[in-house]
Amino acid sequence: MKKYLFVSSLALVAAAGSAFAQEACSSYVIQRGDTLRQLALRVYGTEDYRPIYDANRDTIGKNPNIIRLGDTLQMPCVTAEAGPAAVAETEAERMAADMAAELIRAAEERAAKAIAEAEARVAAAEEEARKASEEAVIAARAAARAEIEQARAEGAALIREAGDEERPAIRDRQLLLITGGGYAPFTDESLPNRGLYTKLVETAFLRAAPEQAYKIQFVNDWNSHLDLLMPTLAFDATFPWSRPNCEEAETLSESDRNRCETYNFSKPFYEVVDTFFALDGSGYETTLTYADFAGATICRPEGWSLSHMDAVGLYEPAIKLFRPLSPDECFHAVMDGRADIVAVEAHLAVDAIKRLGYEHQIIENPNLAAIKPLNIMTHVDNPDGEAILETLNQGLEIMQQSGEWRDIVSTALRNQMESG
């Protein structure tokens, strides 16, 4: 399997000074860390990589941001009339570009370190949960989140500094997006293309802005996306999340109102069926009215929107709400009597029930379901947020008009059925 190299175009300014000589009218074998812009700067003294890309389209493929280690590229001869474009008009501009690149790179390194530390702390907290009291676990998680938030704040400060006057346009930097696993068939690193929704996002970038560099990071603590990682602007966007009915804010829970006030949303890239699951024979799996759920304990994972439940009166104290970190814990809770009903997305539920061995024990109520869109979100404080969503919306429209959206969805769902 060939290794693909994804590199932020901003890194080329800092790296150009140490590059070894390379000449036009020759061939070159791709090394680790190379980008087309970097090669253009070495060979022609300009960041315009189009002559190299045009001469090597068959080798590189459709996306100039993806070049493969070991591939041989031809450095075309360029006529004198073409002339290299100036990298920067003044020494001050070159220094500003260097500083911006260093700030962005440092912020990305801090973000990656904080992600690894967050994963480790969550794992440690889960281990402590089996040994310590509930109060001790809550305290440990609070301390871990405080440390993670501090690390994220440091990374965000660097990004904000880089975003002052010298902040580059989004086409000239690498966008950082965050998602999580355990959400088949939409997002998980073990799924083909890392999930159906991930494939849709990547294809939207390819269709609307093939030159745009981006990176998608998986952090499986979904709640940390909205509590810690996005508010510090360490990431540009997160997906997939449902959009509450923000036009009727007075009917929403506090968490959903906060989501409406804090985030901007893309157009829906996919719609899911959000429904209820209960033990076979409990009565909750066959009822025709939400009123029959009164007094029941309903489990819905932390971070999942409550808007469709609020709209039909399923909020405390009419019901009891249980909000663990993962959907799996909800199904375990129904089996051991800590909860009566699980309220989750149907695709995810069917996969989890089969994987956990609860088939024919926990079943779906087919009478009480709601259709919900899944969107991409950007923070309202991100100065590039609206431009990012506009690019993704344009890509979505192109896919829908060409039929490519339907092909991606049908292929992913067929693969899920065949693997299941």
Per-position DSSP letters for 143-168, written without gaps between them: HHHHHHHHHHHHHHHHHHHHTSTTPP
* pLDDT value, residue 85: 43
Chain centroid offset of residue 382 CA: 15
β-strand 4-5 against 67-68: which pairing, if any?
antiparallel
91-129 helix and 134-162 helix, angle to the nearest 10 degrees: 170
Amino acid code (one letter) for 414: R
Per residue of the chain (420 residues), what is the pLDDT tens digit?
433 333 333 333 333 333 345 688 999 999 988 888 889 898 888 888 899 999 999 999 888 888 888 999 999 987 644 444 444 446 666 666 666 667 767 777 777 787 788 788 877 777 776 666 667 667 766 776 666 666 556 655 555 554 444 556 777 889 999 999 888 889 999 999 999 999 999 999 999 999 999 999 999 888 888 888 899 888 999 999 999 888 888 888 888 889 999 999 999 999 988 999 999 999 999 999 999 999 999 999 887 888 888 888 898 899 999 999 889 999 999 999 999 999 998 888 998 999 999 999 999 999 998 888 999 999 999 999 999 999 999 999 999 999 999 999 999 888 877 776
- Kindly report, residue by residue over 66-100, the tens digit of the pLDDT: 888 899 999 998 764 444 444 444 666 666 666 66
Distance CA 420, CA 257 (A): 37
Distance CA 250, CA 237 (A): 26
Cα distances (angstroms) measured from residue 207 to each of 171, 375, 391: 14, 18, 9
* pLDDT value, residue 126: 74
What is the dihedral sign for C-alpha 24, 27, 29, 35? positive
Enter the tokens of residue 345. 């997305």
Residues 6 or more apart whose Cβ sits within 8 Å of residue 39 = 22, 28, 49, 52, 73, 75
Would you give the DSSP letter of residue 214? E
Distance CA 208, CA 41 (A): 26
Residues 6 or more apart whose Cβ sits within 8 Å of residue 197 = 179, 186, 187, 239, 240, 269, 270, 374
β-strand 263-265 against 297-299: which pairing, if any?
unpaired
SS3 324: coil
| Domains contained in the chain, CATH given | 4-75 (3.10.350.10), 94-264+380-419 (3.40.190.10), 271-374 (3.40.190.10)
Does the N-terminal peptide bond of residue 76 adopt cis geometry, omega within 30 degrees of 0? Answer: no
pTM of structure: 0.56
